[in-house]
Amino acid sequence: MNLNKSNKKRVVVGLSGGVDSSVTALLLKQQGYEVTGLFMKNWEDDDTDEYCSSKQDLIDAVSVADKIGIDIEAVNFSAEYKDRVFANFLSEYKAGRTPNPDILCNAEIKFKAFLDHAMGLGADLIATGHYAQVRENPLKPGLFQLMKADDGSKDQSYFLYRLNQAQLSKTLFPLGQILKREVREIARDAGLINAEKKDSTGICFIGERPFQEFLSKYLPREPGDIKTPEGKIVGKHDGLMYYTLGQRQGLKIGGSRESNGEPWFVAAKDMDKNELIVVQGHQHPLLLNDGLKASQLTWIDDEEPITNWVYAAKTRYRQPDAPCEIDRLSKEEVEIKFGQKQWAITPGQSAVVYESNVCLGGGIITSAI
């Protein structure tokens, strides 16, 4: 497919079939860009089953492209996804951690495989429907900053913190200054088929399918005991990989005479003994920590943040920014201390550091401290 030669900037938009990417393409076309849509297929192991929406998503993406009046191409990145994202996902779960594959998918597929493919088509820029903003650093011309979206309830900069300068310099986020309800209004006004389509939730390749059922196809179940910190057995687990720190649902722990009536939460995993450690009460001391260590660090402008300075950080997506400072920092590891104790800091998740509304970068949590 050749993109027409003209003076217009050529943008390839990742069209997922959802309302956000559709409105992204529409806005860019209205702004005078030469727009092409690209539908990415990243998963094909069981895409015929009831939980996989990729066929309907492609139909919706094609319909939107037709309505807007742009070309669309479908490209299959399933092999890259398996190698770069899914293999990591499985090895992390096997090790007892809780990874966030959407973060790796952004860094390795949406802003690497997709970006490379788009550049091969002769694009000047790529765009996605993420709620985030990118701007040139006013103090360092030529360097780009990742910023939060204006719609704080939808901001997705947390998932994008592993993007580098080369990726950000070629990326547009047209929805960064628009509220979600306005996006749906724009789609309705334009007569887009997916204006009311439900937002996709959950991990991109699992979708709505039951998580245990999905994971057990790839990792064997290893049942074991559920214990209190004092060593009392209160139940059986199906395999440590199915549980995450802070989890309350699905523990199947009945009431007991010693129980204080408060709900049970996962507080730790003992990988050597294959034991799940649970505690009662949301504010149990074992669920609260002053700080964390993280590795596999990435800083967006290649400059490390400074120690003993007040920043904010998130240790999971749906969480308000927590004031913190960086106690120790090397090339390999960061140690972050929070102003207030943080709940259920989870190895495998990402700790993402902000200065005001600028995302500085972050790393993968290795332990709570």
- 141: which 2 tokens? 């011309």
pLDDT at 48: 55
The residue type at 113: A
List every span in the chain annotated with CATH 2.30.30.280: 220-282
- 128: which 2 tokens? 């996605």
Mean pLDDT of the chain: 91
Bridge partners of 275, per DSSP, are: 270
Q: CA 191 to CA 185: how far, in whole Å?
A: 10
| Mean pLDDT of the region 241-255 | 88
pLDDT at 51: 56
Q: Mind telling me the catalytic residues?
A: 105, 204
363 — phi, psi (to 5°)? -165, 180
Q: Are 161 and 298 in contact (CB under 8 A)?
A: yes
Encode pLDDT of 162-204 as tens digits. Answer: 999 999 999 999 999 999 999 999 999 999 999 888 887 666 6
Q: CA 324 to CA 338: how far, in whole Å?
A: 4
| Mean pLDDT of the region 153-160 | 96
Cβ-based neighbours of 330, under 8 Å, separated by 6 or more: none
| Mean pLDDT of the region 224-234 | 96
| CATH class of domain segment(s) 286-368 | mainly beta
- pLDDT of 74 over the 80 cut: yes
Q: CA 200 to CA 177: how far, in whole Å?
A: 21
DSSP letters along 55-109, please?
HHHHHHHHHHHHHHT-EEEEEE-HHHHIIIIIHHHHHHHHTT----HHHHHIIII
List every span in the chain annotated with CATH 2.40.30.10: 286-368
- pLDDT of 49 over the 60 cut: no
Percent of the chain with pLDDT over 70: 92
Going along 158-287, which residue ranges are E strands? 171-172, 224-227, 233-237, 264-270, 275-280
Q: CA 53 to CA 233: how far, in whole Å?
A: 41
Tell me which residue of 56, 59, 58, 69 sits closest to 25, measured CA to CA: 69
**Domain 10-189: which CATH number of 3.40.190.10, 3.30.428.10, 3.40.50.620, 3.40.1400.10:** 3.40.50.620
Burial 91-107 (b: 16+ CB within 10 A, else e): ebbeebbbbbbbbbbbb
CB-neighbour burial class of residue 268 (10 A; exposed 0-12, middle 13-18, buried 19+): middle
List every span in the chain annotated with CATH 3.40.50.620: 10-189
Encode pLDDT of 299-342 as tens digits. Answer: 999 889 999 999 999 999 989 999 999 999 999 999 999 999 99
| CATH class of domain segment(s) 220-282 | mainly beta
